[in-house]
Structure 1
Amino acid sequence: MDKCITDAWPRTIVAGQQTWQTNADIASLLCLLFNAFLVWMAIDPFDTFFASLPRDKGTPVPADHIYSAHYFKNVLPVPCHSHNDYWRTTPLFAALGSGCVSVEADVWLRQGELYVGHTGLDLTEDQTLSNLYLRPLQQILQDMNTGNADAATAPSGVFYTSPSQTLTLVIDLKTPGDEILAAVHAHLQPLRSGGWLSHWNGSARVDRSLTVVASGNAPFAALTANATHRDVFFDAPLAALADPSDSPTTYNPSNSHLASARFGEAVGPLRRGRLSAWQVRALQGQILAAKQRGLVPRYWGTPRWPRSLRDEIWALLVREETGLLSVDDLRAVRKGHWGLWPQDGNARG
């Protein structure tokens, strides 16, 4: 059984055996109970299918690298964002198979390692950022660029049908401070060395196969300290961009990629299960402000229930051309064809 990783209750290894402290037992129990309450997401047979594939030791990448050649060759990328992606049976793979061009992981710094989980009690020793996302992405991109003569200047991304489409990896930093950002930079080195990270080179934005965005407790000052090279971008506060007091030069493509907000905080509470005309205008203004700055607008925390309300909000966001449709239910996305590209093709995930 995996053990929760916390600062207060560290793992102790004695003579090859795991010594369980009383507090650690309690933490593990709470971790299991918390996971039990997260089953609100319906079981997705598509997700479960990928869990049955053979895997290399320590990484979710299929052992014979059949990812590219067999299962995702016909996937069409759409501007949806796999929110809480790590809750799925197969993080990353179910999202990519559904066509999502953006995935998200909540990340905590513990004893020098980056762990993925919703809370500090929801961490296990094998659920690391490298295991769930970075190493699989490295392998996928290596496979996709085998034989690509232009890999140095125009590497292929994760989608066969649209090799120039970037995949956005949102890393929600749960641990405050600059140290976790430094750890993220260090963990990205293999992808950086491969030339697969979108970056700012001091004078222009260079889009590549993978665009990394730091959200949550991301320290903006530390993230923008290097003016000549940046390959981790900020998640700007969407609701603040439409404020006249906000400087249009603060958040721009040199330092930011997304502009996000919790839906309820950005437009206010729904009255009788619908948005007022004023709320729709506020939403339109926020989306426009983000696009004017060259950023991708995104709302999270949209209503999940009832489904009719969820679908109505999703339809509004698609109609207003929000950059990414943030979703938890990938099955609903696939069945309902949500997140289709607008006719002008200007959406950028």
Structure 2
Amino acid sequence: MPVDPFDAAFDPFRRGPGPISVDSPYYPTHYLQSVLPVPCHSHNDYWRRTPLYAALGSGCVSIEADVWLFRDQEDELYVGHSVASLSRNATLRNLYVDPLVSILERMNSENEIAGPIPGLRGVFYQDPEQPLTLLIDFKTNGLDLWPYLQAQLAPLRDRGWLTHWNGTDRVTKLVTVVATGNAPFEALTANKTYRDVFFDAPLDDLDDASDPPSALPGTSENSVFDFKYNPSNSHMASAPFLRALSLSKLSYSVPPVFQGPLTPPQTAILRKQIGQARERGLLPRYWGTPRWPRGLRDRVWEVLVEEGVGLLNVDDLRAARKGQWGRPH
């Protein structure tokens, strides 16, 4: 995709020596004060020059980092889509964790006139109660990577900013961390009394033999916690768009969606999967939706929004800003 001018506007902050100073008159919050958060997920945002700021500046309430562990490289978690794209200055720490700490400390600092302001405030000035989701895609062995992720989240955890399960309730805070890819579900759920990393459940395969039958429409027979994937251990439910359609158990063949607009049977598949995620208290998300032609992309986005998708997966932030996707009409 061509360079996004909005992304380029933040580039001077990236070029500075060392971490961004929250005392700088050019601190990125000057660009973020009027941003309205929308339920969009900034997919592969590390492709951009300033991944965190471009996503937040576009209003995305969810961001993503693909992370790789190489033990002989100072125990850093490197961020990139493939091994060939990795570099020493692109780590989870310096692209996401440290900037988030700076932003949230700035948001929660005393006002020079009013003094202390009660309550925790998130990354969005216009909606400080809106949590930010940080999706971590495990690219290397999940069990090996797991303790390193836990350690690198300490600056957020120690400040009390991470959404967590306390053994009986889910406590929503400023940042919700979600693990996907090679993330080990058993390791994430091993601690029954505290966990602050949640799972990205398989949206196209949510049915589990241990789950109860679905409650009758209009009843509340089942609790969300009766399901294998529920708010105590999961936050999202995601699937690649085309695979989610082709794995349908319906008797007819599902044609490739790129050939034209979504058909009624395809829409019915999406509706069922989105409903299953909602029934479990999870945010449904599809990735790999068509990017071109734009008319088809926009129509697929429209159907997903109409069907109640929890997060609209966005690769082109300019299109998301221009169309105000995710905002209620």
* TM-score, normalised by the number of residues in structure 1: 0.81
Residue in structure 1 matched with residue 239 of structure 2 by the alignment: 261
Distance 1:126 1:137, change over 3 A: same
Residue in structure 2 matched with residue 59 of structure 1 by the alignment: 19
Q: What's the CA shift string for 1:110-159, capped at 9, x where partnerless?
A: 122100010112111111000100000001000000128576xx411000
Q: What's the CA shift string for 1:261-292, capped at 9, x where partnerless?
A: 00000013327312221111110011111111
Residue in structure 1 matched with residue 318 of structure 2 by the alignment: 331
* 1: CA distance, partners of 2:29 / 2:149: 30
4+ residue runs over 6 A deviation: none
Distance 1:282 1:116, change over 3 A: same
User: How many residues are paired up?
Assistant: 299
* 1: CA distance, partners of 2:18 / 2:258: 48
* Equivalence map 1:1-349=2 (5 Å): 41-53=1-13, 57-59=17-19, 64=24, 66-67=26-27, 69-111=29-71, 112-147=75-110, 149=116, 154-241=119-206, 243=207, 245=209, 247=211, 249-268=227-246, 269-270=256-257, 272-340=259-327, 342=328
Q: CA deviation at 1:67?
A: 3.8
Identity of aligned residues (%): 58
Say if 1:54 and 1:62, in contact at 8 Å, map to a contact too: no
* 2: CA distance, partners of 1:244 / 1:192: 32
Structure 1 residue matching 2:300: 3-state secondary structure: helix
CA RMSD of aligned residues (A): 1.9
Q: CA deviation at 1:167?
A: 0.3
* Aligned residue type for 1:126: N
Structure 1 residue matching 2:49: 3-state secondary structure: coil
* Aligned residue type for 1:339: G
Distance 1:54 1:286, change over 3 A: closer
**Ranges in structure 2 where 5+ consecutive residues have no aligned partner:** 212-225, 247-255
* 2: CA distance, partners of 1:186 / 1:51: 29
Q: What's the CA shift string for 1:209-254, capped at 9, x where partnerless?
A: 100000100000001000111000000000112x474625210000
* 2: CA distance, partners of 1:61 / 1:159: 19
* TM-score, normalised by the number of residues in structure 2: 0.86
Residue in structure 1 matched with residue 222 of structure 2 by the alignment: none
